[in-house]
């Protein structure tokens, strides 16, 4: 049905125009487009229809129209055309990747930074959650008489450290012995399970050094409980101000306040089951009242075989979705590659 096609064509044109200009788009502006050979009056009729169907809103009677959340949803699901990144964009991303950043915190910080730099929206990156990560190595490092640092490395490439007390007289050797024992018996189990395992696995030693094991259990448990405290990196908050929808101070304030609340961000970016699948949350689809005027676009990437980290951008519903998708996809693919390469690639010869 050609008529319907025309409606969608007009709707897409309106959305594109509004994304580009941020001002309500009028019938005349559309009719002047070279690819639309219709008078403004005809466009007005179509727009009137589209408004009735819920795809357009009118801020007030004598303004142009603005796409509704429903329109954006249709747009990202069906209308959006892929855009390509230009060489500069790709270079920026490669620069981060090629830096061979080793520390996880540093990597997510850089991810958020480059993301916000390329999209001009505030961006977030989060490391994988700790609970279901399996323990790979436990090391008790002496830091002072009676004190040690418990370092736990997981298969999600995350590392956790906790200061703890140790019995007097426990030297480097003792700690080393326990490090090996702990690693041997807890390896492969999750942080969540580990505490319970201490009971069954270390019956004898446990009775002997009750307080010591309590400390270890405590350290493990506190790490496990940090689900809501996953490392979060935020970048480009000040980009918010480039978009007219945040010209209102109160609007900007409450948005920044939300962005700062790590618990909320972790929840919003929750990695999706499918890696590399891009998720859109548009305006009113957000649970949070403060976010009803904003959209979130997220993607995730694999870290090793079982874990995923995610990242995304937050902006006005009038977001340049096509470009954001292009950036997220490229960045996600790059990150997956380096993580897969670093953690799993066993075929590669050692010589660098």
- Residues interacting with a copy of itself, by CB under 8 A? 102-106, 136-137, 139, 141-147, 149-151, 153, 155, 157, 159-168, 211, 214-215, 219, 222, 229, 231, 235-238, 241, 247, 249-250, 252-254, 256-257, 260, 342-346, 348-352
Q: Is 172 in the site for DNA (CB under 7 A)?
A: no
Q: Is 67 in the site for DNA (CB under 7 A)?
A: no
Nearer to DNA, 3 or 211 (CB): 3
Phi, psi of 223 (to 5 degrees): -65, -40
Q: Is 196 in the site for DNA (CB under 7 A)?
A: no
Q: Among 13, 33, 40, 83, which residue interacts with DNA (rule: CB under 7 A)?
A: 40
To DNA, the closest distance from the beta carbon of 45 in angstroms equals: 6
**Two tokens at 337?**
């590659």
Q: Residue 349, SS3?
A: coil
Nearer to a copy of itself, 141 or 276 (CB): 141
Q: Which residues does 115 contact at the CB level (< 8 Å), separation at least 6?
A: 123, 125, 235, 236, 311, 312, 313, 327, 328, 331
Q: Which residues does 234 contact at the CB level (< 8 Å), separation at least 6?
A: 112, 122, 123, 124, 259, 260, 265
To DNA, the closest distance from the beta carbon of 29 in angstroms equals: 6
Cα–Cα distance, 346 to 306 (Å, whole number): 17
CA dist 24 → 16, 294, 304 (Å): 11, 17, 46
Give the interface segment with DNA, choosing from 53-61, 125-133, 248-256, 338-346 (CB under 7 A): 53-61
CA dist 202 → 79, 210, 319 (Å): 60, 10, 56
To DNA, the closest distance from the beta carbon of 2 in angstroms equals: 9
Contact residues: DNA, CB under 7 A: 23-29, 37-42, 44-45, 47-48, 51, 58, 60-65
């Amino acid at each position: 049905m050609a008529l319907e096609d025309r409606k969608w064509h007009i709707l897409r044109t309106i959305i594109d125009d509004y994304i580009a200009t941020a001002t309500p788009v009028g019938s005349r502006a559309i009719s002047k487009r070279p690819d639309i050979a219709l008078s403004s009056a005809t466009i007005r009729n179509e727009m009137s229809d589209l408004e009735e169907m819920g795809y357009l809103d009118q801020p007030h009677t004598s303004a142009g129209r603005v796409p509704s959340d429903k329109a954006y949803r249709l747009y990202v699901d069906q209308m959006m055309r892929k855009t390509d990144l230009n060489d500069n964009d790709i270079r920026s991303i490669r620069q981060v990747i090629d830096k061979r950043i080793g520390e996880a915190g540093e990597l997510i910080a850089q991810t958020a930074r480059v993301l916000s730099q390329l999209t001009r929206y505030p961006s977030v990156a989060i490391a994988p959650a700790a609970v279901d990560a399996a323990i790979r190595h436990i090391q008790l490092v002496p830091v002072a008489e009676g004190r040690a640092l418990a370092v736990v490395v997981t298969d999600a490439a995350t590392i956790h450290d906790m200061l703890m007390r140790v019995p007097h007289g426990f030297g480097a050797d003792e700690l080393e012995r326990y490090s090996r024992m702990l690693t041997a018996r807890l390896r492969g189990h999750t942080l969540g399970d580990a505490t319970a395992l201490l009971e069954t696995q270390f019956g004898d030693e446990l009775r002997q050094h009750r307080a010591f094991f309590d400390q270890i259990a405590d350290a493990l448990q506190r790490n496990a409980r940090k689900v809501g405290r996953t490392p979060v990196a935020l970048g480009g908050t000040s980009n918010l101000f480039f978009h007219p929808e945040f010209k209102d101070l109160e609007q900007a304030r409450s948005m920044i306040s939300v962005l700062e609340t790590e618990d909320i961000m972790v929840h919003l970016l929750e990695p999706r089951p499918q890696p590399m699948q891009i998720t859109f949350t548009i305006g009113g689809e957000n649970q949070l009242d403060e976010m009803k005027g904003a959209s979130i676009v997220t993607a995730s990437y694999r870290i090793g075989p079982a874990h995923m980290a995610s990242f995304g951008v937050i902006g006005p519903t009038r977001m340049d979705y096509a470009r954001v998708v292009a950036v997220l996809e490229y960045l996600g693919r790059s990150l997956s590659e380096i993580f897969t390469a670093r953690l799993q690639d066993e075929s590669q010869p050692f010589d660098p």
